[in-house]
Amino acid sequence: MTVPIPPDRVRGAQEIAAVLTPGRKVALTTHVNADGDGVGSEVALWHLLTARRLAPVIGNPTPIPSRFDFLVPSGADRSDRAAKEIEAADVVVVLDISDLSRLGDLASAVKKTRGPTVCIDHHVSPPRGAMPGGPRLIAPEASATAELVFDLATALTWELTPEVARALYVGILTDTGAFRFANTTPRVLQVASALLGGGQGLDPESIYESVYASAPEGRIRLTAEVLQTLVVEPDVGLAWVTVPPDALARHGATPDDLDGIVEFPRSIAGVRLALLFRQLANGRIKVSFRSLGNVDSAALAHEFAGGGHRKAAGASLEGSLATVQQRVLDAARRHLRLQPAGS
């Protein structure tokens, strides 16, 4: 099945192809605490560029979560020396963010690069830190960055090998919450269908197992502990959970193990906004926002210099857990009262 590519995406793909010429050294990177879309998009592009005789490496600000190890080709991930790889690259490709500040410690290395900075992304938020110049493939209406990497490859008739198809499928699967969230568009289902039905022999069950059913025991025990902190305010439709400050260390867990926990408070009947609070290693407090219906998570996250999408957004704030919680909860209640259910 062929999926038509919008003309502006074809133009973006051609501009990107013009800087990705054989022999060039390319550094691929994504946001801190990479998710399946960031890693899947990087890995797919790594294979696509290697097949075109470029020299790509992945260099991320934080380690790739172990649940995605099955995707990453041996030797491709140089996140241990990411700043050096970025500085040495002829072209930097930033995936799944348009905001320089989401690159953590790598922001300064990307700012210093000599060559063009390609950006492929689907976030709606206005960037606070602008990326250096270069060709863009940005479409907030895309379900996942992996959908845009699919468009890039398709527009340029670059072959979707089984490794590319698998990585793109993981990006789409994880960013749509396994085809459940509001961003599960007819088009992204067509793209998934092309990936599964394209003769590459993808096995959705084994991908599901690798991504969602290979959890370390600590992830489940951590989930149990975080869910114990649940607070619900049914009158406004708000629910939140808090990660106890030492919980990750006690369960031998990483931030990736928290992925999806905020779906539990969101799944309570009548809840329109769910929050997860946790302390980051740098002492700041990270808030994840998830909403339903007409509640705009991104608008709320913007109040705290964060960003994301309408139904899923995040922000990181200065202050103690208690004071940040109070500020964010007050804003959340105000937001929910101004936006009654069904309005």
Which does residue 37 bind out of Mn ion, ligand AMP, none, counting CB within 5 to 8 angstroms by kind?
A: Mn ion
Q: Which is nearer to Mn ion, 144 or 295 (CB)?
A: 144
Asked if 315 touches ligand AMP (CB under 6 A), the answer is yes
Structure tokens at 30: 């994504």
CB of 158 closer than 8 Å to CB of 173: no
| Residues that contact Mn ion, how many (by CB under 5 A) | 7
To Mn ion, the closest distance from the beta carbon of 314 in angstroms equals: 10
CB of 288 closer than 8 Å to CB of 241: no
Asked if 135 touches ligand AMP (CB under 6 A), the answer is no
* Interface residue with ligand AMP, options 313, 328, 329, 332 (CB under 6 A): 313
Which does residue 302 bind out of ligand AMP, Mn ion, none, counting CB within 5 to 8 angstroms by kind?
A: none
C-alpha–C-alpha distance, residues 149 and 314, integer Å: 24
* Interface residue with Mn ion, options 36, 37, 137, 279 (CB under 5 A): 37
Task: Kindly report the backbone phi and psi dihedral angles of residue 328, in degrees, each rounded to the nearest multiple of 5, phi listed first.
Answer: -70, -40
Q: Which is nearer to ligand AMP, 60 or 316 (CB)?
A: 316
Q: Which is nearer to ligand AMP, 14 or 185 (CB)?
A: 185
Site for ligand AMP in 172-191 (CB under 6 A): none
What is the maximum span of the chain, computed from C-alpha positions, in angstroms?
Answer: 61
Q: Which is nearer to Mn ion, 38 or 56 (CB)?
A: 38
β-pairing, 117-121 vs 91-95, is: parallel
Asked if 278 touches ligand AMP (CB under 6 A), the answer is no
- With a CB cutoff of 8 Å and minimum separation 6, the contacts of 323 are none
- With a CB cutoff of 8 Å and minimum separation 6, the contacts of 146 are 37, 40, 41, 44, 167, 168, 169, 170, 171, 172, 175
Q: Chain centroid to CA 104: how far?
A: 14
Q: Chain centroid to CA 192: how far?
A: 18
Site for ligand AMP in 90-129 (CB under 6 A): 102
Quick one: which segment of 53-61, 143-151, 229-237, 301-309 binds ligand AMP (CB under 6 A)? Answer: 301-309
To ligand AMP, the closest distance from the beta carbon of 293 in angstroms equals: 18
Interface positions with ligand AMP (CB under 6 A): 31, 102, 288, 306-309, 312-316
